[in-house]
């Protein structure tokens, strides 16, 4: 079974190197059963969000907590034949609407389902490392041209691609999920050389980016849930507007690598967040216990993006 067959069985819809999958919270929101923490923190409506990627099976890391099949469905660090940004966005939106069709047969909010077919937000974070796609500026511009906001999440191992961005996302994330280089090698099993110094360079670049900037920590006991002072040192390089501190969850293929006992309780995430906030001088801005995530704010920008 090849990479794409594995992903298709996991209900990914794929076109070339791009893919989309309905987020659990999108489905819940359409059915009136809840919403994602990004809606609570930033005002992004879960039912109008597209969870997507331009590089579904390509990544520079093999993170222990990743939900994708990092061994069975990893195609390395370079996409062989890249599609034009317009074709990528067209396919993402088309496939997203195909996936939404299945929600019409279960109890749902008809108005939300109608709105979901005209999404207003792209979360470029589904799988793989999106910055491997070399035409990211064009991709972001194409989403923005259609009146959509964008969240771009990168692992920070391709600083040269970050530096080359001509169009910036509405909100830019770097995942910082190891407090030291030793942790980095253990937790992420990098497929790229010099991954740690590359991450540090990306954090330096983030500091001067003229957009909303977020550092995200995904934490698991016995793996990387320690040394808050080291995380604070890394975060201080980037001086982000916000920090998201979140529990790693054993879902998808991560269930084969993580035990449920390694998933921190929300209380533990809150305590860890408070230690980081004290070290940085950030405040606890918000939290969502059912997602086990806490938002820290520098106070420089308001967390809400509006009602998209």
Which pLDDT tens digit goes with each residue over 102-117? 776 777 888 998 999 9
Q: How much is the pLDDT for 308?
A: 45
Decide: 232 and 279 in contact? Cβ < 8 Å: yes
Nearest-CA neighbor of 56 among 107, 3, 117, 114? 3
Q: How much is the pLDDT for 6?
A: 80
Q: Would strands 283-288 and 293-297 be described as parallel, antiparallel, or unpaired?
A: antiparallel
pLDDT of 215 > 70? The answer is yes
> In the predicted model, what is the mean pLDDT of residues 79-94?
95
> In the predicted model, what is the mean pLDDT of residues 225-249?
97
Q: Which helix (H) or strand (E) holds 37?
A: helix 37-42
Q: How far, in Å, CA of 58 to CA of 126, rounded?
A: 12
pLDDT in tens, 32-49: 888 899 999 998 899 999
Q: How does residue 234 score in pLDDT terms, banded at 50, 70 and 90?
A: very high
- What is the average pLDDT score of the chain? 91
Exposed/middle/buried for residue 53 (C-beta within 10 Å: 0-12, 13-18, 19+): buried
Written as six digits, the tokens of 137 are 């500026």
Q: Would strands 212-219 and 242-247 be described as parallel, antiparallel, or unpaired?
A: parallel
Decide: 245 and 282 in contact? Cβ < 8 Å: no
Instruction: Give me the phi and psi of 56, to 5 degrees please.
Output: -60, -35
Instruction: Give me the phi and psi of 154, to 5 degrees please.
Output: -125, 155
| Beta strands across the sheet bearing 171-175 | 13-15, 18-20, 49-53, 121-124, 149-154, 171-175, 212-219, 242-247, 293-297, 283-288
- Name all domains of the chain by residue range, CATH numbers in brackets: 3-297 (3.20.20.70)
Q: How far, in Å, CA of 239 to CA of 215, rounded?
A: 9
Q: Which has the higher per-residue pLDDT, 121 or 258?
A: 121
Instruction: Give me the phi and psi of 160, to 5 degrees please.
Output: -65, -35
């Amino acid at each position: 079974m090849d990479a794409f067959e594995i992903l298709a069985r996991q209900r990914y819809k794929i076109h070339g190197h791009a893919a989309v999958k309905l987020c659990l919270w999108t489905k819940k929101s359409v059915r009136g059963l809840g919403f994602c923490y990004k809606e609570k923190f930033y005002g992004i409506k879960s039912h109008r969000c597209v969870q997507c990627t331009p590089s579904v099976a390509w990544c520079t890391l093999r993170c222990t907590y990743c939900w994708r099949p990092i061994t069975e469905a990893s195609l390395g660090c370079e996409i062989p034949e890249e599609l034009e940004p317009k074709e990528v966005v067209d396919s993402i939106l088309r496939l997203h609407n195909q996936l939404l069709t299945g929600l019409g047969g279960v109890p749902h909010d008809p108005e939300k389902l109608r709105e979901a077919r005209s999404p207003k937000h792209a979360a470029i974070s589904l799988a793989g490392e999106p910055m491997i796609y070399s035409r990211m500026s064009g991709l972001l511009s194409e989403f923005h041209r259609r009146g959509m906001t964008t969240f771009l999440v990168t692992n920070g191992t391709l600083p040269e691609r970050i530096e080359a961005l001509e169009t910036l996302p509405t909100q830019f994330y770097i995942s910082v999920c190891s407090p030291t280089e030793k942790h980095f090698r253990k937790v992420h099993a990098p497929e790229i050389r010099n991954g740690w110094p590359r991450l540090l360079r990306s954090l330096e670049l983030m500091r001067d980016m003229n957009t909303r900037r977020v550092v995200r920590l995904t934490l698991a006991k016995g793996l990387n849930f320690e040394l808050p002072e080291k995380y604070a040192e890394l975060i201080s390089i980037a001086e982000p507007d916000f920090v998201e501190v979140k529990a790693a969850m054993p879902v998808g293929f991560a269930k084969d690598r993580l035990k449920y006992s390694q998933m921190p309780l929300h209380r533990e995430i809150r305590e860890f967040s408070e230690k980081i906030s004290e070290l940085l001088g950030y405040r606890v801005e918000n939290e969502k216990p059912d997602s086990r995530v806490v938002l820290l704010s520098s106070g420089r920008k308001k967390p809400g993006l509006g009602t998209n």
